[in-house]
Structure 1
């Protein structure tokens, strides 16, 4: 017995909408579009593209072979990640870099460097130390 249900085109579309893929409009040459096309820009620079066909009404789910190809080559997720997204709205981890919680703002770093504080000294400071140092330097009268 399969671990996951057979995926439908509706599940495929839900996945794209939950993960916020962009629908791409393609020129149809005046004819009927046979596929919905979605794209997703990834943090590593890749662009994923997936197509959802408009099948005959009798064909609601994908065959296992086609579905595995779509997961691997178009969506770039495991079946478990796909169903977590569709059923629980848990977006796949696409490697989005997490910023450290307490970084020194770039403007503070720039001002400290311009005020003569060595970069190595700034990098050794905490956010609070850097801001306190900047406030102290700015509160002194100009030479």
Structure 2
């Protein structure tokens, strides 16, 4: 969805192209071509389509690995969901 709000000039003059481009670029975060494709063809701009996140590690698992196991943020960033759970299992079984 593309949505923005601007006030109307008090003397009913038209807005210049500079303001139009500012609204497209800074508020709607689209180019002119993407804007008109959305308006006329219903094609959503690329920025409005959510990117599917990669498999993520559950927050509780991250918390336990950081607080109990003592892993650093860099170590946590390198883990996959499966390896994070396996590391937590290792801590629970061996204490290390």
> Which of 63, 84, 87 is the matching residue for 1:110?
63
Counting matched residue pairs gives 86
Give ranges in structure 1 of 5+ residues lacking alignment. Answer: 1-17, 22-38, 40-48, 54-62
Aligned to 2:22: 73
2:6 alignment partner, SS class: strand
1:50 alignment partner, SS class: coil
User: For the structure 1 residues 116 and 73, does the alpha-carbon distance in structure 2 shift closer, same or farther, using more than 3 Å as the test?
Assistant: same
Aligned to 1:130: 84
Q: Conserved in 1, the CA contact under 8 Å of 2:69 and 2:91?
A: no
Please tell me the root mean square deviation across aligned C-alpha atoms, in Å.
3.6
Give ranges in structure 2 of 5+ residues lacking alignment. Answer: none
User: For the structure 1 residues 121 and 74, does the alpha-carbon distance in structure 2 shift closer, same or farther, using more than 3 Å as the test?
Assistant: closer
1:115 alignment partner, SS class: helix
Q: Which structure carries more helix by proportion?
A: 2
Distance 1:137 1:74 in 2: 53
